[in-house]
Every structure is written in structure tokens, then in C-alpha cells.
A and B are shown apart, each in its own frame.
Chain A
Amino acid sequence: MPAYRPPRIAPSEITPERCFLSRRTFLATTAGALLGAGAGAAQAAALAAPKGKYTVDEDLTPEADVTGYNNFYEFGTGKADPAANSDAFKPTPWTVKVDGLVAKPKEFGLEELLALPLEERVYRMRCVEAWSMVIPWTGFPLAALLDKVEPLGSAKYVSFETVVRPEQMPGQSGFFQPLPWPYREGLRLDEARHPLTILSVGVYGKTLPNQNGAPIRLVTPWKYGFKGIKSIVRISLTETPPPSTWNLSAPTEYGFYANVNPAVDHPRWSQATENRIGGGGFFGANRRDTLPFNGYADEVAGLYAGMDLKANF
């Protein structure tokens, strides 16, 4: 057998170092566009986005915990249920209807939403059940979407709705359904327009897995996690406070604002501390003090100036 000879590469064919290095930037900027074009492809595709300025300097919760331990009652009430029961869910094609008190109501295709300026933000996530994570989300400010529909002066609130698909979401069918569907959430318009409020389309540099609210979900890092409504199909601007599912289900336990507040206990457990997920085992468990507004007080406390946060929990 003749010895293998590598083909000779002409110097003219060698990629200049400058171009080779800029390849990464090229990939990062085009991946989002490609993904938009190829929406409908397999889930958890790569989704690169530049890092945003809102990033906390804390250890990330391992990806396996972010995608394997969460609440999404449409797929079951157990923490492992969303990952286990969401395989049949089809996040593409997808549209989000934005209507209500706006000048230009519109139904947005997912591709249009993915074309908005995406960035990666590392946010704390504090669940109302007193556990927390640090999650790298990819998304765009909700304000960017609201700008496109031009809210009217009379709009005071924003209402959100999750998809209802009992055939793809096992928690929405059968006996003992835990909540009335669709799942609803709401924000005050100024909260919705706050730069921290994003619609997320990805996590850990990939498109959202079904269990985390594919293809698009809300993230408001200074509020308890249940405000982060998943798999959104409708966003409406309203004049009156919109209904929110947990608030309707147990008004004494879950308020409309649901701002993270260590001074206001849930009636059945303390909110003073939280268990940071991902310590690995019993002895790495990490109980830490919960911060007002989940550590985002500098950014958002002004939204609630003069309000009694114990009454408006």
C-alpha cells in the first residue's frame, strides 16, 4: 500500500489568521438569522447571541438542572415531569398574537421574533417555592416587541397567555387538572417595558427546550418564577389588571406583583432564604439569604416607589 501523502496546500489557499478568527463573530451573528430561516428544524438548535450588560457574576446552575428540574404544570406537577412529558410538544411553527389596546395589532411569526436583537443575559431565577438558579437566557427586551405594535395611551397592563394543547401537553387533560387553562400572567405596562424584562427564546446558547417554555417565554428576574409564563401565544394590552393564574387559584398565597421579597412570607413557608439548585448532593446544598427584588432592587425598586409591598405582594 502506498504511503499516504497529504495533498499539498497552496499558500494562496491558507485562510489568513484575521479571517479565521473573525469566523466566530460571523457564526455568532448569522446563527440567529439562519435559525430564523430554518425554524421548524429540530429543537435545541444552537442560538448564539452577544452577551448583554445585565449579567450576574455568579456560578451558573448546571444545564441539566435548568432543563431537568422546573415547574411547567401543563406537562405535570412534578419537577421532572416537564422534561419527561414534553417530547410530543411541537414548538414550530408558532405565532404570537399581540393585540388589545395597540395601534397596530399583529400576529408575529417566530421568525420575525427571532430577528429582533437577541442577547444573552445571565439572570437569577427565584422560585416562589424557595429555590433558585442562575440561568443564561437568550432573548430580546419585551419593549422591543411592544414598540412594534404601538400601545395606546389607555394601555396600562400587559396580559399573557400560554398555548392550550391537551393532545401535546399531558397536564392539560385527564382527572385532577391542577389549574384552569390557559395559564395567564400579567404585568403593569411599566414593568413590561423595563429593560430587564425579556422574552426568552433560548437558554444555554440553544433554542428553548420544550420543558422550559419553547419557543418563547417571559423572564422577569426580580419576580417569582411563576410570573415567567411559558409557550406564549397571545399578548394583550389592557386598561385593567389582567387575571393571573396562580393569583386566581390562591389569592392569599400569590399576588399579582409577585416581586421577590424576603420580608413577605408565603403563608406556608418562609421566603427569607432560598436553596440554590445545583450544589451536588446533600452537603453541597446551598441555602442563602433571599435578596429584595432578587438582587435587582437598584434597577426596579423605583417602579414601586410609595407602594406598600406587604399589601401588594
Chain B
Amino acid sequence: MAKLPALPKRFHTASVWALYWLGLCPALAAFYLGAAGRLPGNPVKEFEHLLGIWALRFLVATLAITPIRDLFGINWLRYRRALGLLAFYYVAMHFLAYFLLDQVLNMPAIIADISRRPFITIGMAGLVMLIPLALTSNNWSIRRLGSRWNQLHKLAYVIAAAGALHFAMSVKVVGLEQMTYLALVALLLGWRLVRKPYLKRKRQANPPHRHAKDAVA
């Protein structure tokens, strides 16, 4: 298979920073439009939904890094932390938009929502689970936690499932968009079950070929 031209190593750090900034653009643009009164209809809901959708997109992208490497030999591991943190930032902003702009700090209503409405309970659980992952998304934590870091970060699977479910349960009719996210998350999680046998067989099938190619590259 033809490979993408590799990004020269000297641009790696800059590309990660670019991802952070690009990733925050949808939220910044929507916040600007909403604050300026230029989001039509129900601006608070529009903003809340936009943040939620982007959170889900970044969760999916985070989980896609491994399958992309397994299947296509493209290593984007250097972007995974940024994608995961962007997902966390968007989930946090999604919650803040609900808390500050939508419910306007109405604590009884918020507590009732979280405790009584399953889709909000699930969404809230996703946010809570993301906090330890965001706090340990740094090299120091990886060194400190060792193999426990990997264990902890498997929570990302549960969080992505919670996110897709939260989205599907929030709408009046589950449509193509919700089905797409449910299917994507199901596929990405399903890959985790089959990747080990797949990689083993792949290694056994063509070890010399792979090595030869790597040597040339």
C-alpha cells in the first residue's frame, strides 16, 4: 500500500500545537457568534450542541489512532494526547454551556437533571471519568504510573461509549447522525477485541516484507 509522505521530524512539535489551536477554532468561532447575537434561533442550545458534537468527534479521533496504525501503518501517536485533551476541553465546555448559559446556575434543576434523566447522568459520568485522564495526560504521569497508566486510560473506551449513547438518548428520534457515532464507536471498540490476533497473524504472514520496507524507508 502507498504510504503518505512522512512529516519531517522537525515539524512534529509544531504540528501538535497547530492541532490544539485548530481544534479549538470551532468553539471559539461559535462562542464569538453566540456572544455577538449572530447564532440564529436558540443560540445557547446551538452552542451546547456544537460543543457536544465536537467532543464526540475528538473522542472518536482519539480512539482511531491505534486502528489507523494497525491497519494502514500510519503512526499518528504524537497527536493522540492533543486529541484526547481536546475531547476533554469540549466536554468541559459543553457542561459549562449547560451549567452557565442554559440552566444559569439553577442548582436544583441541574441536580434534578443529573439524577433523574438517564442521558444526562450518562453524560455527566463521561465528564467525571475524563477528569483523571486529562490530569494524567502528561509525561510525568506516564512515568509515575507505569503500566497503571495504560489501565487507567482504558477508561477512554467507556467514555466514548457514554458519549455516543448520551447523544443518541438526548434526541427525540435517533437519526443517521446518532447512528453514525454509535457505529463508529462500536467499530473502534470492537477493533480492540480483534487487534491482537490480527497483528499476530499479520506478523506471521509477512515478516520479511515489512522489515525490508522499513529498511528502505
Contact = CB atoms under 8 A, between A and B. Distances in A.
Given A250-B172, A287-B104, 8 more contacts: A131-B45, A270-B112, A277-B42, A281-B37, A282-B44, A282-B47, A283-B35, A284-B37
A77 B175 contact: yes
Contacts of A175: 176
B174 to A, nearest CB: 8
B54 interface: no
Interface in B143-181: 169-173, 175-176, 179
B40 A65 contact: yes
A191 B175 CA distance: 33
A205 to B, nearest CB: 21
29 contacts: A64-B40, A65-B40, A69-B42, A73-B173, A77-B172, A77-B173, A77-B175, A79-B42, A176-B175, A176-B176, A268-B118, A268-B169, A269-B117, A270-B109, A270-B113, A273-B109, A275-B42, A277-B41, A280-B37, A281-B35, A281-B43, A282-B43, A282-B44, A282-B47, A282-B101, A283-B35, A285-B43, A285-B102, A287-B106
A173 interface: no
Contacts of A164: none
Interface in B164-211: 169-173, 175-176, 179
B119 interface: yes
A79 B41 contact: yes
Interface size class, chain A = 20 to 34
Nearest to A226: B172
A35 B130 CA distance: 60
Interface string B96-127: 00000111101001001100111100000000
Q: Is the interface of B mostly helix, strand, loop or mixed?
A: helix
A53 to B, nearest CB: 31
A273 B175 CA distance: 27
Contact of B35 (A65, A73, A282, A287): A282
Interface of B: 34-45, 47, 101-104, 106, 109, 112-113, 116-119, 169-173, 175-176, 179
A121 B93 CA distance: 41
Contacts, number: 75
A249 to B, nearest CB: 7
A78 B38 CA distance: 18
A74 to B, nearest CB: 13
A80 interface: yes
Contacts of B102: 275, 285
A227 to B, nearest CB: 15
B113 A269 contact: yes
A249 B175 CA distance: 14
Nearest to B176: A176
Given A176-B175, A268-B119, A268-B170, A275 B44 contact: yes
Contacts of A80: 40-41
A250 B173 CA distance: 9
Contacts of A265: 116
Nearest to B34: A282
B37 A65 contact: no
A195 to B, nearest CB: 31
Contact of B101 (A73, A77, A129, A285): A285
Contacts of B116: 265
Nearest to B119: A268
Contacts of B34: 281-282
A79 B106 CA distance: 26
Given A273-B109, A282-B35, A65 B175 contact: no
A5 to B, nearest CB: 51
A281 B39 contact: yes
A282 B169 CA distance: 25
Most buried by A among B34, B37, B44, B47: B44
A277 B117 CA distance: 24
